[in-house]
Structure 1
Amino acid sequence: MTDKLQSVLHPAGPDAVIISQFAWVMFGAGTVIFIGVMVLLALAVKRAPRQVRPLRWIAGAGIAFPLVVLSALLVWSTWRSAELAPQSSTASLVISVTAKMWWWEVRYHDPLTGREIISANEIRIPAGRDVYVALSATDVIHSLWVPALAGKRDMVPGRMTGLTLRADKPGVYRGQCAEYCGAQHARMALHVVAETPAAFDAWLARERQDAAAPGDAFLERGRQAFIGQRCAACHTIRGVAGDARLGPDLTHVGSRLHIAAGTLRNHRGTLAGWIADPQSIKPGARMPAANDIDGETLRALAAYLEHLK
């Protein structure tokens, strides 16, 4: 799947279509008014000075025209806003997203087992279905915005809000934190991956499983490096180590399209680079560099994480 353009003008869901219409109508109305003002300005400059009736212009252009235009826009936008999806947790699939500096924790309530499935920086949804996303934050104010699917919603520590997402067809839709939250705000992205219902169910079934066992000695070396490098102090790999929540859950990190909250494509090379020196990629990130790891062990650790799918 290729990433869709992050733009409100390329809608891929019913709410985004309405918001896109708002944008085009406002842009069109503003353009017409701008052209009208420029025409009047050109006429005023070109024509010889003459007496005008200021009250007529004040009443017509200053009161009547704005009143008619703004009233029409208000009525139309109110009518269209009523068609936006209700922000209700009655959707068949509920996902919890918690914003942290500078990444996203994603939790799915598994209807089959009743337990939570934890991921990070990527939201998987079935295309063609409403999905309710419960939003919260742990440190500062954040805001989730996936322009192709819905409007933005603020995430305030201590408060729960929600957002309904619906993708009309499968695709990858980029989202972004839309509220300045610190030094790496610009690199706090996430991706919504919409799949066919069958593909989503298959993905969810894989996510229920603990981490895959290493298939050879090289991957086993990587698993031991994960434990020996104290990665488990911040990260969890189910079936391997810990229940840490300071950093993203890595049980199925190899299945994600990106790492570091949308900063890097996910493959063995970027995993190794991120482990070795995250501060050169995302200064201020709370992940320390692995300064005491040799090159071969680093490659084994990256390969092990890549195979966790």
Structure 2
Amino acid sequence: MKRASRLLPLLLAGCSGWQSALDPRGPSAQDLHGLFWLFTITCTVIWLAVMLVLLAALLRRPPATKGAAEAAGRRSARVVGGAVAATVLVVAGLTFASYLATRAISSDQPEALVIRLRGYQWWWEVTYPHEQPDQTLLTANEIHIPTGRPVRIELAAADVIHSFWVPNLTGKQDMIPGRSNSLVFTAEKPGTYRAQCAEFCGLQHAHMALHVVAEPPEAFERWRTAQLAEAPAPEDAEEEEGRRVLESKACAACHTVRGTEAAGNLGPDLTHVASRRFIAAGMLPTTRGSLAAWVADPQSIKPGNNMPMVSLTADELQAVSAYLTRLR
């Protein structure tokens, strides 16, 4: 029973957001969807043709005379030659179709919204750069984008090779340390789309999720404005105590909470952590209980992650969880 109660939040987290390359919600995903069916249908036809030829060969009677055998040999040579030519044409056609379907992913569009995504073991740092430094937005594990506008994701990795993939919106692109990659896509309809790391990157690779929230441009601008603000002030004594504990403990050395003394840059920015749908890169839904559980013992939830266990009393843990829940 205890184990089931611990697994339930993980199952709920994993079920959030429909994730399927067969349910395209943008031009790039539609191109890849068409490419998938082109490959599937072509390979099915080829397999059926091979099976028919094999069946015909099994049922064919041996030639009765030497002349018939020579004629059969010539026919077989023509069939093999035709099959080789057909193979070359099919492979060339599929290669060209792949090029056409994927070239838009890397095409440069000047009007695109630029987002910098950096992969860590095992979470995502999200930056919205701006010409004015005070307008540059830093968040984690959740991307908000406006519908109908191209988005260019500039990809990088801090430690090992990761891979960014939002099946409903675009194809995969690797994130390689020391190398910059990018891809461009557009979300046509509002929705929350689950993304993930698609390259094995260590023990918690399967628990490195990211959610892409596509919303109308007006809603996106409201979200951006709210995220640029400093952390909301505590509303009661418990939240005030939670902020004091956060600033005095090791939390402040690793995390930033704008408007407080916490200014670390080793872990995710927590200024508006409670506004995100999940914590720990998709592991737990963002609730006060989840925040308290994560702070109390992050290794039992996500073994191997770089967040140490911070020694807190029960009262301090309650106060910190209350303050973190306030950070919307």
- Does the alignment reach a TM-score above 0.5? yes
- Could you tell me how far apart the structure 1 residues matched to 2:308 and 2:62 are? 72
Please give the root-mean-square deviation of Cα atoms over the aligned residues, in Å: 2.1
- Could you tell me how far apart the structure 2 residues matched to 1:8 and 1:27 are? 14
Question: Map of 1:150-229 to 2, 5 A cutoff?
Answer: 150-229=170-249
Deviations 1:217-269 (A, max 9, x none): 12122212212332101001001123211100000000001111112211111
Amino acid corresponding to residue 126 of structure 1 in structure 2: P
Counterpart position of 1:33 = 46
CA contact (8 A) 2:247 2:262 kept: no
Question: Map of 1:8-27 to 2, 5 A cutoff?
Answer: 8-27=21-40
Amino acid corresponding to residue 24 of structure 2 in structure 1: P
- Could you tell me how far apart the structure 2 residues matched to 1:87 and 1:244 are? 36
Give the superposition deviation at 1:7. Answer: 1.9
Amino acid corresponding to residue 35 of structure 1 in structure 2: L
Q: Give the greater-gyration-radius structure (CA).
A: 2
CA contact (8 A) 2:230 2:271 kept: yes
- Comparing 13-22 with 107-116, greater Cα deviation is found at 107-116
Deviations 1:14-37 (A, max 9, x none): 111101111111011111212222
Give the superposition deviation at 1:121. Answer: 0.7
- Could you tell me how far apart the structure 2 residues matched to 1:89 and 1:150 are? 16
Name the SS of the counterpart of 1:4 in structure 2.
Answer: coil
Name the SS of the counterpart of 2:321 in structure 1.
Answer: helix
Counterpart position of 2:78 = 56
Deviations 1:265-294 (A, max 9, x none): 11111111111111111110000123x323
CA contact (8 A) 2:242 2:321 kept: yes
- Could you tell me how far apart the structure 2 residues matched to 1:18 and 1:215 are? 50
- Could you tell me how far apart the structure 2 residues matched to 1:223 and 1:59 are? 76
Number of residue pairs matched by the alignment: 305
Name the SS of the counterpart of 1:67 in structure 2.
Answer: helix
Please give the TM-score of this superposition, normalised by the length of structure 2. 0.86
Amino acid corresponding to residue 40 of structure 1 in structure 2: V
- Could you tell me how far apart the structure 2 residues matched to 1:46 and 1:81 are? 44
Is 1:247 equivalent to 2:267 in the alignment?
yes
- Comparing 41-50 with 273-282, greater Cα deviation is found at 41-50
Counterpart position of 1:293 = 312
- Comparing 84-93 with 100-109, greater Cα deviation is found at 84-93
CA contact (8 A) 1:11 1:148 kept: yes
- Comparing 136-145 with 68-77, greater Cα deviation is found at 68-77
Is 1:73 equivalent to 2:86 in the alignment?
no
Residues 227, 89 of structure 1: CA spacing in aligned structure 2 closer, same or farther, 3 A cutoff? farther
- Could you tell me how far apart the structure 2 residues matched to 1:274 and 1:181 are? 22
CA contact (8 A) 1:177 1:189 kept: yes
Give the superposition deviation at 1:41. Answer: 3.0
CA contact (8 A) 1:87 1:162 kept: no
Higher helix share: 2
CA contact (8 A) 2:246 2:262 kept: no
Counterpart position of 2:292 = 272
Amino acid corresponding to residue 31 of structure 2 in structure 1: I
Residues 113, 140 of structure 1: CA spacing in aligned structure 2 closer, same or farther, 3 A cutoff? closer
Name the SS of the counterpart of 1:19 in structure 2.
Answer: helix
Counterpart position of 1:305 = 324
Task: Give the unaligned 5+ runs of structure 2.
Answer: 1-14, 64-68
Task: Give the unaligned 5+ runs of structure 1.
Answer: none
